[in-house]
Amino acid sequence: MRSFNSLGGDDPYYSRLYNETYVKLNPAVTTAVIQTKIGEVYAYLDLLPQDEYRRSRLYKEWAAPQGYIDSVLVTLDKSATSFAAVVVMRHERHGLVDAAARWRMGLLAPHFCRAVAIGKVIDLNKVEAASLADALDGLAAGMFLVDADARVVHANTRGHAMITDGDILKDIGGKFSAMDLRADQSLRDVFAAADAGDAAVGAKGIAVPLMTRDGERWVADVLPLTSGARREAGASYAAVAAVFVRKAALDLPSPLQTLAELYKLTPAELRVAMAIIEIGGVPDVAPVLGISETTVKTHLQRVFEKTGTNRQADLVKLVAGFMSPLKQE
């Protein structure tokens, strides 16, 4: 809902207008992110009271001129960094979303979700290469096979480039080393533990956060190779672990969902909080959300009380911390 891509039947002018202006003024986005479930069907008015929707700028300036009064949607993907849904608009001549519309979307929803799942697999495994080395060289992430002493026994093309750049990793006597000193020590401990078998690190491996010189966050995913079928992958190189280095983009619950659950914020309170952060002060937020300034102030005061903040600047700082892919203690 942070962008609008039409499959047909739209007015290109209004599609462009939504992406340029109203994408940030959609009062139901916050609720959709924290309340909807992947594959389930919803009506827009399940997420927002109808009277608030009719008073919002989105309705008055974008939906009403086109005759749109509701929409039926299905959530396709949710993560810490993204939200995607298929949305079918309802014109006033068709009325609000009814049981028949929900049923029809329910028939399509599994196919939409399956297409997204297949797309993810294709993105992660673009082609089956002729050899393991070719496949690893095609990865966007840097990949390294290391032994118990952190010596690099094999690296893919991206991995070699990372070491050459010297921004995230460095080569010290042929050993895998992170520029971040704390992360480097953690990785050495993990490699040593991996030599003792999967049980020491965990069969699913471990993720170690990395930091570049410019403060950009990355992650090193370490997978032990010392037991089971994985042993064959590392046997010819005497490797004890495979390390995949990538930018931090974790499949965590939505930061908004975490924020709402931690501070017990209602959907209305969270909508106001995010609108205050993204749009501005109370006078600017009220017409966007379709509520009075008094109501905005009431919700904002409750947000302050629940989060332990006193000023808008403090609230912005708090929310920014939740939006960081890797929050530091």
Fold assignment, 132-247: Beta-Lactamase (3.30.450)
Q: Is 50 exposed, middle or buried (0-12, 13-18, 19+ CB in 10 A)?
A: middle
> How far apart (Å, rounded) are the C-alpha atoms in residues 200 and 198?
5
8 Å CB contact between 248 and 218: yes
Radius of gyration of the chain (CA): 24
Q: Stretch 60-78: mean pLDDT, rounded?
A: 92
For 48, residues 6+ apart whose C-beta sits below 8 A from its C-beta are 27, 28, 31
> How far apart (Å, rounded) are the C-alpha atoms in residues 79 and 5?
20
132-247 matches 255-323 in fold? no
pLDDT of residue 123: 55
- Pick the more confident residue, 139 or 112: 112
Integer angstrom CA distances of residue 233 from 77, 102, 152, 154: 33, 48, 15, 11
- pLDDT class of 46 with cuts at 50, 70, 90: very high
**Would you tell me the crossing angle of helices 267-278 and 282-289 to the nearest 10 degrees?**
130
Q: Which CATH class is domain 255-323?
A: mainly alpha
Residue 292 amino acid letter:
S
In the chain, domain spans: 12-124, 132-247, 255-323
Is the C-alpha dihedral spanning 246, 251, 254, 255 positive or negative? Answer: negative
Coil, strand or helix at 290: coil
Structure pTM?
0.52
Of all residues in the chain, what percent carry a pLDDT higher than 70? Answer: 77
Q: Stretch 189-210: mean pLDDT, rounded?
A: 69
> How far apart (Å, rounded) are the C-alpha atoms in residues 49 and 51?
6
pLDDT in tens, 230-262: 344 444 447 788 888 887 754 445 667 778 888
Strand partners, 38: 75
